[in-house]
Amino acid sequence: MDWVTIDKISHHVDKTVELRGWVANRRSSGKIRFLQIRDGQGVIQCVFMADRVPAEAFDLADKIPYESSVIVHGVVRRDPRSAIGFEITAEELVLVSEAEPYPITKKEHGVGFLMDHRHLWLRSSRQTALMKIRSVLTRSARAYFDDLGFVSVEAPILTPTACEGTTSLFEVGYFDRSAYLTQSGQLYGEAAAMALGKIYVYGPSFRAEKSKTRRHLTEFWMIEPEMAFWDLNDTIGLAEGLVCRIVSEILDKCSESLQSLERDTTHLKKVIPPFPRITYSEGVHILKNRGSQFNWGDDFGADEEAILSEAFEKPVFVTHYPGSIKPFYMKRDPADDNLALAVDLLASEGYGEIIGGGQREDSFDTLQQRIAEHGLDQGPLEWYLDLRRYGSVTHAGFGLGIERALAWITGIHHVRETIPFPRLMDRLYP
């Protein structure tokens, strides 16, 4: 008898199979017991009839605690009433490990309780749907760059400097000195682009941001391409292609998961090129027209981004931000030194920024001056300045935040559910 998983159950109709999983649900009706068995690939109903299974198995099916692990033997049957089209007529039930009373029940639990039990909450159908879509998202993002001939490069997690400003650094002891958890692989990505032309870094980023919003994690994942001899405009085209590829692969491969999340995909089907492109100044104009008190020169916050992203049907690129609100490495616009050649992509439906990037400062002198202006120590950045000393070229790149992209695509409210074990300002457990 073959051990089969639920995703492959359709290949085994009328065959006797072995199923290995956990009890997700149970009910009884007269001389029949129903167990919903979950095996990670899916959920299937197993039907235990008094006259078809040993008495002990029938008994066990009546009282087995939720989330106990079990092995079921039975015959796969087509069943039009089943959500997956199949059920199992059970012949045997073996208890692998009896579960203690399971803390997550059918009643509504508060978010704090669920977060404390994240290691168990992950087993729920909503959470497994999110994790499956996350997996397709990261796989399609990598495949997009792989197909374009980008080289995948790893950046260090322990770093000597800030990339995205000194206020959100996590400091860790490093023998007799300090190190910082990386905020972005970008600076190392730039070095690798000078070696390999087109690269991408995929890895975790850390920000000690004291923000308790629905889109801030202290540990999140980014995919960051960096390209030598590319400018701002080239980079925007690359970002557009990436987002379209991710969305179309998820629509294509994750329809079941999207359905179980009750995601209305109408908006996602509109995610095709070209995306609208506006400048920061045009964005400010839109905000003012919609009654916002926003001042030119301030950074867009969640409210402003929500207004802008709701103003467009598709994700919108915003470029040419004031240089003063952007990091030291951003190249200024040759036509207006107050502006940076920066780009953010604001997702639709009010989700706001999912991508940040731009063209990098390639002049040694200007970069050195910016490092000083930002109050950064030049010493630990000498290696980065070397990239401008030895064959500096126009180059650009961006970072896509995996969790924010996933929250938008799946239509969920808070990024805490988009990562297996979220790290938030007030959450380090489990």
Binding residues vs Mg ion (CB under 5 A)? 356
In the list 42, 74, 323, 356, the residue contacting ligand 4AD (rule: CB under 6 A) is 356
Work out whether 354 is an interface residue with ligand 4AD (CB under 6 A). yes
User: Positive or negative, the Cα torsion across 118, 120, 121, 124?
Assistant: positive
Residue 399 as a binder of ligand 4AD (CB under 6 A): the answer is yes
Query: Nearest approach, Cβ of 430 to ligand 4AD (angstroms)?
Result: 20
Residue 222 interacts with ligand 4AD (CB under 6 A)? Answer: yes
| CA atoms of 392 and 284, how far apart (whole Å) | 34
User: What count of Cα atoms within 13 Å lies in the side-chain half-sphere of residue 195?
Assistant: 11
74 lies in the site for ligand 4AD, by CB under 6 A: no
Nearer to Mg ion among residue 33 and residue 326 (C-beta): 326
Least distance between ligand 4AD and beta carbon 250 (Å)? 17
**Stretch touching ligand 4AD by CB under 6 A, among 24-32, 59-67, 192-200, 349-357:** 349-357
- List the single partner that 322 binds among Mg ion, ligand 4AD, none, CB under 5 to 8 Å by kind: none
Phi and psi at residue 415, to the nearest 5°: -65, -15
Contact 360, 327 (CB under 8 A): no
CA triple 42-45-46, angle to 5 deg: 120
Q: Considering the complex, what minimum distance in angstroms separates the CB of residue 356 from ligand 4AD?
A: 2
Contacting residue, 91, 353, 361, 417, with ligand 4AD by CB under 6 A? 353
Our CB check for ligand 4AD shows the closer of 166 and 255 to be 166
Question: What single string gives the DSSP state of each residue in 150-191?
Answer: PEEE---SEESS-SS-GGGPPEEEETTEEEEE-S-SHHHHHH
CB proximity list for 357: less than 8 A, separation 6 or greater: 235, 239, 342, 343, 344, 396, 397, 398, 399
In what helix (H) or strand (E) does residue 126 lie, and over which residues does it extend?
helix 125-147
Residue 140 interacts with ligand 4AD (CB under 6 A): yes or no: no
Q: How many residues bind ligand 4AD (CB under 6 A)?
A: 23
Distance between CA atoms of 356 and 97, rounded to whole angstroms?
A: 48
- Which listed range, 251-259, 287-295, 297-305, 400-408, lies at the site for ligand 4AD (CB under 6 A)? 400-408
Residue in the shown chain whose Cβ atom is closest to Mg ion: 356
Please, what is the minimum distance in Å from the beta carbon of residue 369 to ligand 4AD?
Answer: 20
Residue 398 binds ligand 4AD (CB under 6 A)? yes
216 contacts which partner out of ligand 4AD, Mg ion, none, CB within 5 to 8 A by kind?
A: ligand 4AD
Q: Among 45, 124, 62, 60, which Cα is nearest to 96's?
A: 60
Which of 397, 408, 409, 410 contacts ligand 4AD by CB under 6 A?
Answer: 397
Q: How far apart are CA 240 and CA 68, in angstroms?
A: 46
Binding mask 168-197 for ligand 4AD (x = CB under 6 A): ----------------x-x-----------
Evaluate whether 93 touches 57 at the Cβ level (below 8 Å). yes
Dihedral sign (CA 210, 216, 217, 221): negative
Round to the nearest angstrom and report the end-to-end CA distance of the chain.
38
The residues of the shown chain that bind ligand 4AD, judged by CB under 6 A, are 163-164, 184, 186, 207, 209, 216-217, 220, 222, 224, 353-357, 397-399, 401, 403-404, 415
